[in-house]
Structure 1
Amino acid sequence: MKIILTQDVKSLGKKGDIVQVAEGYGRNFLLPKGLGLEASNTNLANLAHENARTVAKKQKELEEAQNIAKKLQGAVVNITAKAGEGGRLFGAVTNKEISEQVQAQHKVAIDRRKMEIKEPIKSAGSYEAVIKLHPEVQVVIKINVMAQ
């Protein structure tokens, strides 16, 4: 019996896989628990349609990430923070502050969790941050921190 898995099953495969199973296993376990569907022509057509939608959605996300990367390529973000003697900041510049300044200065919304800074920003100067927009797309922006 051929079954289309609707969820990941540890010993069989991942969601969307078409697997050959014993008749009893399919009818008595997989189908009643909702772990799979019988591989009929209708269900196979639905699976193909769903796969096409998934591929199109991933392609659209990749294109959006590439467009944002083009906007931010070579971008410089200026941040002013209170500082003491020697340019040492009171506290540190956080990812949240950087993402807010990117939004304000470049009109691009960036999730703070997608930003990676090599070292904490605790003094005035120039730094770099890597923004991971998509698993295949990342962009480096410069951050200038000035003492107030």
Structure 2
Amino acid sequence: MIDVILMQRVEKLGQMGDTVKVKPGYARNFLLPSGRAIRATESNLKRFESERAQLEAQNLKRREEAERVAERMEGLQIVLIRSAGESGALYGSVSGRDIADATKDAGLTITRDQVILEQPIKTLGLTTVRVALHPEVSIPVIVNVARSPEEAEKQARGEDLRAEQEAEEASLEAELAAELSELGAARE
């Protein structure tokens, strides 16, 4: 384990300025290259303390900017059209990149790293994902995955597409059974 000083808030690790122990690989491969932390040496600690006010001001500015973007994203619903099987299972899945690209169409710019998917989206329907605009600001966004724009509108209104589809199939089966029984009666 090595000691690092956090340069910004890192989820599940600590706040800006905290000195924490992390595994060497995590520090070397993620925290240090992304600028989220620096090694906890005497000189780095002194440098951090002298720059702390400036870093906090920058962090506050970034947070305010993220809050403005969050206000614009409030209530955002992203519609993604994908092909899927009869059961509603997608051929493939929806990734963070797909969601980030769809927000560009809405006039907002987020990166795929900011989209937090608890698990991949592999079925049709409405799913809520979290977009982390800043370590302290995140917003829920509704992703509507459908086969067509018409289906997406129905899902957005809350209509149950499966029940509608099953009712349609049942009526077609009833018509087919009636026609078959008529054909059977006509032959006799």
TM-score range for the pair, normalised by the shorter chain length: 0.5 to 0.7
**Identical-residue share of aligned pairs (%):** 28
User: Structure 1 residues 114, 9: CA separation in 2 closer, same or farther (over 3 Å shift)?
Assistant: closer
Amino acid at match of 1:126: L
Are 1:16 and 2:37 counterparts?
no
**1:119-138 counterparts in 2 under 5 A?**
119-138=119-138
More helix by share: 2
- In structure 2, what is the Cα distance between the partners aligned to 1:15 and 1:97? 43
Are 1:112 and 2:112 counterparts?
yes
Structure 1 match to 2:86: 85
**1:1-148 counterparts in 2 under 5 A?**
10=41, 14-16=45-47, 47=50, 50-104=51-105, 106-148=106-148
User: Structure 1 residues 8, 145: CA separation in 2 closer, same or farther (over 3 Å shift)?
Assistant: closer
How far 1:144 sits from its partner (Å)? 0.4
- In structure 1, what is the Cα distance between the partners aligned to 2:44 and 2:132? 30
Gaps of 5+ in 2: 1-37, 149-188
More strand by share: 1
Q: Deviations over 1:43-65 (max 9, x none)?
A: xxxx4xx4443232212101111
Structure 1 stretches (4+) deviating beyond 2 angstroms? 7-13, 15-18, 50-56
How far 1:115 sits from its partner (Å)? 1.1
User: Structure 1 residues 9, 122: CA separation in 2 closer, same or farther (over 3 Å shift)?
Assistant: closer
Matched pairs, number: 111
Classify the secondary structure of the residue corresponding to 1:144: strand
* 1:125–1:146 Cα contact (<8 Å) kept: yes
- In structure 1, what is the Cα distance between the partners aligned to 2:127 and 2:111? 19
